[in-house]
Amino acid sequence: MKYRSPALLGAMLLSSGLIACSSSGGSSDDAASGRTVLDVWLMRDSVSDAFQKEFEAGFEKAHPEIDVKIQIQEWDGIGEKVTAALASNDAPDVIEVGNTQVAQYAQSGGLTDFTDKVAELGGDTWLKGLAEPGAYDGKQYGIPYYAANRVVVYRTDLFRKAGVDATTIKTRDQWIAATEKLNRGGTQGIYLPGQNWYALAGFVWDEGGDLAVREGGGWKGGLDSPEALRAMAFYQRLQALGKGPKDSDESQPPQAEVMAKGQIAQIIAAPGGAAVVTQNNPELKGKLGFFPIPGKTADTPGAVFTGGSDLVVPAVAAHQKEALTFLRELTGDTWQKKLALTMSYVPNRTTLAGAVSADPGAAAMAVGAANGHATPNTPQWAAVEAKNPIKDYMTAVLTGRDAGSAAATASRTITTTLNSGS
């Protein structure tokens, strides 16, 4: 799964559909100039036109022997297109993929192993939520590119009216107290739909649990662990402080549109959700702020699901050396800072968080990204999301079913799905 560009952030995309694989186009070297043509696939909204032109010019100035050709790909159907490219004899040299998609491509043996290049590429400071899903069976195939995650988007005017200072909200208990205070002023303290399972996952990680864990040679669903049950209890407590529906997620109805229409003080969303709010209600322009999802203690922000992208190199790519040069440049400090400032992304390493300090939304994301996580690193996780027993479980608890029983049922479904590979 993968976050979109800031203007479109706020929902996770699992691409589907079919696009026929075509030739990478221009993969042969430029014999006349003696330059190596490096074919690169980046995804729609990954970079702006201006950044792409600046990067290409800067890269080729630094490496005149390489002619980099970036082709922008659509997310719709990209999974099938990448799979076909990896199995072909005419694959591009570098491909951007969603961070949690790396495992499914690595499983086929179609990716170049960069384990011995991790230190050279600055892997000691990579964001865990990008680096961990970029690895498979102990080997590093995906190189972290950029990240995005959820924060709390709030109405500054409603907070001020209620006498709540958002900068003081560092812990879950403070968050609950502030939300209760907002409710007393006639405001809906928070709009939290019952099936925002990404938010629940963060609470599970905060408690020390996980959605699924390795057990023996397979996987076991983790929603019925004591840690996950505590997380669901907190989610239930927070959700009860608003009027969000118990049987739908943040996209049904779109929560940013709901916030735009009413006196709603907070939503949990990526910062791009604020743009959707003001688009639907221009009167709220300048009245929205951001803070990281609070953690259990003030010294650690709440855990978040890290969306974003990794860069991979097909094993059959013709220009492995040049591809590594490309990775070194685009994921290095200089271009990561420029990308973060241009696109309001979180840079790929913790040491660069300060690059977005002047962007309130991105700065809040960067704080949370330091405690970022990914979904269980198995190619079969996509099948779990397709069935999504987590959503059914959350609705069951919020509508009165016993949490332990509902969690056990959901965990069994996750276990069966992950171990059947279906």
In the chain, what are the domain boundaries? 6-149+306-373, 151-304+377-420
Q: Do domains 6-149+306-373 and 151-304+377-420 have the same CATH topology?
A: yes
pLDDT at 8 over 50: no
The residue-averaged pLDDT of 144-165 equals 97
Environment class of residue 120 by beta-carbon count within 10 Å: exposed (0-12), middle (13-18) or buried (19+)?
Answer: exposed
Average of per-residue pLDDT values in the chain: 92
Half-sphere exposure of 243 (CA within 13 A, CB side): 10
110, 107, 100, 106: which is closest to 21 by C-alpha?
Answer: 110
Q: Write down the residue that tokens 């026929």 correspond to.
A: 20
pLDDT at position 19 over 70: no
| 365: helix, strand or coil | helix
In this prediction, residue 80 carries a pLDDT of 93
Residue 23's pLDDT is what? 35
- pLDDT for the residue numbered 301: 98
CA torsion through residues 214, 215, 221, 225, sign: negative
3-class secondary-structure state, position 203: helix
The answer to whether residues 256 and 267 touch, using CB atoms and an 8 Å cutoff, is yes
Correct CATH for 151-304+377-420 of 3.40.50.300, 3.40.50.10320, 3.40.190.10, 3.40.50.720: 3.40.190.10
- The pairing of strands 266-269 and 151-155 is antiparallel
Map residue 70 onto helix, strand or coil: strand
0.85 exceeded by pTM: yes
Cα 189 to Cα 175: distance, rounded to the nearest angstrom:
10
Model confidence band, residue 71 (pLDDT cutoffs 50, 70, 90): very high
pLDDT digits (tens, 9 = 90+) for 382-419: 899 988 999 999 999 999 999 999 999 999 999 999 99
Own/partner contacts of 33-37, CB < 8 Å, gap of 24 or more, are 33/67, 34/65, 35/64, 35/65, 35/66, 35/67, 36/65, 36/66, 36/67, 36/319, 36/322, 37/67, 37/69
Burial of 187 (0-12, 13-18, 19+ CB in 10 A): buried
Mean pLDDT of the 280-291 span:
97
Class of the domain covering 6-149+306-373: alpha beta
Q: Give the DSSP H or E segment for 410.
A: helix 403-420
Strand order in the sheet with 266-269: 266-269, 151-155, 288-291
DSSP for 97-149, written as a single string: EEGGGHHHHHHTT-B---GGGTTTTTGGGB-HHHHTTTEETTEE-PEEEEEE-
pLDDT of residue 34: 83
3-class secondary structure, 10: coil
> Which one-letter DSSP state was computed for residue 185?
T
Both structure tokens of 27: 């993969």
Lowest mean pLDDT among 196-200, 213-217, 236-240: 213-217
Output the pLDDT for position 12: 35
Per-residue pLDDT, averaged over 97-108, amounts to 94
Task: State pLDDT tens for residues 261-270.
Answer: 999 999 999 9
Residue 141 has pLDDT above 90, yes or no: yes
Does the pLDDT value for residue 18 go beyond 60? no
Taking residues 87-108, report their average pLDDT: 95
pLDDT band at 13 (very low <50, low <70, confident <90, very high): very low
The residue type found at 390 is I
Q: Which residues contact 188 (CB under 8 A, 6 or more apart)?
A: 182, 242, 243, 262, 263, 264, 265
Q: Is the pLDDT of residue 16 over 60?
A: no
**pLDDT > 80? residue 5:** no
Distance, CA of 190 to CA of 208 (rounded, Å): 25
* Res 372 pLDDT > 80: yes
User: pLDDT tens digit string along 26-70?
Assistant: 445 665 678 999 999 999 989 999 999 999 999 999 999 999 999
User: 347-361 pLDDT, tens per residue?
Assistant: 999 999 999 999 999
Q: How confident is the model at residue 186 (pLDDT cuts 50, 70, 90)?
A: confident
Predicted confidence at residue 27, as pLDDT, reads: 45
DSSP code at position 347: P
What is the pLDDT, as a whole number, of residue 25?
42
Residue 384 in tokens? 């779990």
Q: Is 60 exceeded by the pLDDT of residue 154?
A: yes
pLDDT range class, residue 183, cuts 50, 70, 90: very high
More confident residue, 9 or 304: 304
Bridge partners for 188 per DSSP: 264
Phi, psi of 189 (to 5 degrees): -60, -35
Mean predicted confidence (pLDDT) in 278-306: 97
